[in-house]
Amino acid sequence: MKELTLETLIAVWEEMFGRGLFWTMVALAALITLAYVYVLLRDRKLSFHKFFWAQVSMPVGAVAAVWFVLKITRSRLADIGGPIDWLVVLGVAGAGAIGFAILIYTAQSLLFRHAD
């Protein structure tokens, strides 16, 4: 592999997660992102109370994302070897934390609109 392209990454992710699960995750991420943009446009401000609780939930998202990837790949933490493996785990944890925070903020805004 001489160059890393988006098509290559998609092929790797489809192989790793399975085509159905991968595209389901992409669709859910797109749906949550659209809901988040809707909430921001609807409310025209950021609720710091909801934002605080979204940030508090970030460790849960990080752990869940790492656990999910380890489960899907049938790996264990003991299988993590070199520095690149640790960078990938940190990237997965970071993406999970941010995604979960966005999900929590959006869910709070849609379910409890006036709870500031």
Alpha-carbon torsion, ordered 63, 26, 35, 87, to 10 deg:
40
Average of per-residue pLDDT across 54-77: 94
The answer on pLDDT for 116 being more than 70 is: no
Q: How confident is the model at residue 23 (pLDDT cuts 50, 70, 90)?
A: very high
Closest to 106 (Cα-Cα) out of 43, 56, 60: 43
| d(C-alpha 40, C-alpha 33), whole Å | 11
pTM: 0.84
pLDDT-derived band at 1 (thresholds 50, 70, 90) equals: low
- In this predicted structure, what is the pLDDT of residue 80? 86
